[in-house]
Chains A and B, each alone.
Chain A
């Protein structure tokens, strides 16, 4: 049932049937948008994946040449698969007054490059830097060309950072990383991409065309990025100076925005000399090939993980690393890496952990590499969010995290970034969550913790997009109909999402969930968790959810309350509180410390004792307690004697009176 259009923020009418292909991005198709108040300004919308967070952004100055969203929101979108609608995030953009088609022409001159690309790029990166952001989508096919030849940089918010960047546009470290796990990086990573872009425009072609990603990385590691791209090309000295600065492979040597500004303003900037990796006094053989430098070996090891795990435990590797370089610090680092690799994680995976740590030693700035996983610490959240429902790589991901490779990578980078220090502490705090596998723990919990805007992927939420806690219960309520009406309103995603948003407030309830979900304790934990969520963000009237929780509560009554009358009383109370959607009161009624259960417990103990006493008495009677011959005879004779004594006494009394009267 494809709707014709959707309204966003009462301002933008989006037309799902009208695609605008020139504005499509790999992760985000573009659609036509009409502004309700001002039809003269053309807009388009990018439809984002419903699995990704809705980007947040501040306003951007209009003179910055960047396609930047004007609005964002969630709209119900026709879902071809389910033939229904699915809530999806969309970003609304003003159409740039430019075209996607590159104007015909050969290589750009230095003046053209400065005016058309470098100056707009500097302004864009400057503006983003001031917002504490990076672009990470600077590539030739994400540009718009104005009629005067200058460019407008394309969107950078519709997909995870650098996810759609071709490897050749990225630094060696970023190229080695899985696209989803590249992370926002630093503005210097954008400057590197800008350098490649400038080189492409300066030459009028991609100098690396025809090379595979692996060949490009190998060449960049062996010769450095600048030489890989431009060793055979002739550029003006000033342009060469610029590209040497932007394409420096070492972060510390790469130009900053300030240096670029100086260059744009025509000031002289000292050229960087290419800093090539130090060559060993002797080579080492790995996978039937000789290697002379540490980064080259690191790249090769990264591509052949099984062999790498075998190599790092050999004496040959140890000797090569200690003796082939005149670097005294190496020995300490090797020892430390070995010790840490042995300390964290299962014994059988030790060679892999050691290999991962050795890669940091072989090439500083290397991403975290562990078996098939390559990730930047900042991209960890994106990677976990992407992989959290795939069980195939979960054990590798767990090993990577439990081996404390994230912390090792942050320590190794030593860039003093306070955000990374905070992130490191956060990872330290989150790692114990991997020790358990139940709801609210594990990879899913980490993903929701590291990606605060990540929408909850619970199947119980159906096609709804829920990224904030206040929306959770109303959406859950709306989806608890039909086939879901009798489902327990809890699953791993919901538990992890709630735990990540409420943190220590729900830690007791989350731990209580670590039992069989259908058991009485499991159902009680669900009820308690929902009550805490409802307290944290009062949701109003939720009849479906209340009914679902009521059926849980009623089932718990038979488990927790033994007294028939108290059960009836509790049922009435629960029905009344459910009608008000007062989940906290429902929990209080069933709480072991609550009046009802305390009364029930006390009464039950008394009743049990009474029953036992009655049972004993019944057994005594059945065993002939009252009818036992000796006892009966004894009592009967006693009674006979008493009867005789009383009768005789009475007779004697009458006899005495009669004698006296006579």
Chain B
């Protein structure tokens, strides 16, 4: 699958070589994330890549405005606002990746309490209906 994507993406990357070079440069934070991401499913890489890629669109817009040419790569990459967007996007991705587990822990705790309350309520209903023997061992 990965190979198929690579085979399909490679001609496009060569065809749009200036865009590819600009994009590779602006996705450096993603490369860093990929390097340090030890998760099997590479969640950090995906998160950083997503926002980094969105931020890199500013560079692409600058490049495409000047025309798809090798000589326009340097002027495009020298745009400070472009780096702010690319790196800011990566930072946002990184931040979301770090903040969400804490938020999710709180959500899980609340969900656990709610579910436990429901289970206890259902158990009590069963005991009310069938008596304490319903708690017995299952044969």
Residues of A at under 8 Å CB distance from B? Answer: 562-565, 603-604, 607-612, 614-615, 617-618, 621-622, 624-627, 629, 632-633, 635-641, 643-645, 647-649, 651-652, 655, 659
The answer to the question of B6 belonging to the interface, with a C-beta cut-off of 8 Å to chain A, is: no
Provide the bound-state CA to CA distance between A609 and B139, in Å: 9
| Contact residue among B54, B101, B136 (Cβ-Cβ distance under 8 Å from A647) | B54
Using known A-B contacts A609-B138, A636-B101, determine if residue A622 contacts B116 with beta carbons closer than 8 Å.
yes
> What's the least CB distance linking A566 to chain B, in Å?
9
Interchain CB contact under 8 A, B119 and A621: yes
The answer to the question of B46 belonging to the interface, with a C-beta cut-off of 8 Å to chain A, is: yes
Provide the bound-state CA to CA distance between A221 and B43, in Å: 119
Nearest CB in chain B to that of A564: its residue? B129
The answer to the question of B26 belonging to the interface, with a C-beta cut-off of 8 Å to chain A, is: no
The interface size of chain B toward A, counting residues with CB under 8 Å, comes to 45
The answer to the question of B5 belonging to the interface, with a C-beta cut-off of 8 Å to chain A, is: no
The answer to the question of B133 belonging to the interface, with a C-beta cut-off of 8 Å to chain A, is: yes
Provide the bound-state CA to CA distance between A633 and B100, in Å: 8
Interchain CB contact under 8 A, B43 and A641: yes
Provide the bound-state CA to CA distance between A568 and B51, in Å: 65
Interchain CB contact under 8 A, A611 and B43: no
| Contact residue among A565, A632, A648 (Cβ-Cβ distance under 8 Å from B105) | A632
**Which residues of A are found within 8 Å of B54, using beta-carbon distances?**
647-648, 651-652, 655
Interchain CB contact under 8 A, B51 and A564: no
Provide the bound-state CA to CA distance between A637 and B43, in Å: 6
**Which residues of B are found within 8 Å of A603, using beta-carbon distances?**
130
| Contact residue among B93, B112, B122, B131 (Cβ-Cβ distance under 8 Å from A562) | B131
| Contact residue among B53, B61, B116 (Cβ-Cβ distance under 8 Å from A652) | B53
Interface pairs (20), CB distance under 8 Å: A563-B129, A564-B131, A565-B129, A603-B130, A604-B134, A611-B126, A614-B126, A621-B115, A626-B112, A633-B104, A637-B101, A641-B97, A643-B47, A644-B48, A644-B49, A644-B51, A644-B96, A652-B54, A652-B57, A655-B57
| Contact residue among B39, B108, B115, B134 (Cβ-Cβ distance under 8 Å from A608) | B134
| Contact residue among B47, B48, B51, B130 (Cβ-Cβ distance under 8 Å from A607) | B130
Interchain CB contact under 8 A, B61 and A659: yes
The answer to the question of B80 belonging to the interface, with a C-beta cut-off of 8 Å to chain A, is: no
Using known A-B contacts A564-B130, A637-B43, determine if residue A627 contacts B116 with beta carbons closer than 8 Å.
no
Residues of B at under 8 Å CB distance from A? Answer: 39, 41, 43-44, 46-51, 53-54, 57, 61, 64, 93, 96-97, 100-105, 108-109, 111-112, 115-116, 119-120, 122-123, 126-131, 133-136, 138
Interchain CB contact under 8 A, B116 and A621: yes
Provide the bound-state CA to CA distance between A432 and B66, in Å: 116
| Contact residue among B111, B119, B127 (Cβ-Cβ distance under 8 Å from A626) | B111
> What's the least CB distance linking B72 to chain A, in Å?
16
**Which residues of A are found within 8 Å of B46, using beta-carbon distances?**
641, 644-645
**Which residues of A are found within 8 Å of B133, using beta-carbon distances?**
562, 604, 608
| Contact residue among A608, A618, A655, A659 (Cβ-Cβ distance under 8 Å from B119) | A618
| Contact residue among B48, B64, B129 (Cβ-Cβ distance under 8 Å from A659) | B64
Provide the bound-state CA to CA distance between A655 and B56, in Å: 11
Nearest CB in chain A to that of B120: its residue? A618
Provide the bound-state CA to CA distance between A648 and B57, in Å: 11
Interchain CB contact under 8 A, A651 and B115: no
Interchain CB contact under 8 A, B108 and A632: yes
Nearest CB in chain A to that of B135: its residue? A611
Using known A-B contacts A607-B130, A626-B111, determine if residue A618 contacts B123 with beta carbons closer than 8 Å.
yes
**Which residues of B are found within 8 Å of A622, using beta-carbon distances?**
116
Nearest CB in chain B to that of A647: its residue? B50
Provide the bound-state CA to CA distance between A615 and B39, in Å: 34
Interchain CB contact under 8 A, A637 and B39: yes
> What's the least CB distance linking A2 to chain B, in Å?
56
Interchain CB contact under 8 A, A635 and B104: yes
Provide the bound-state CA to CA distance between A93 and B122, in Å: 79
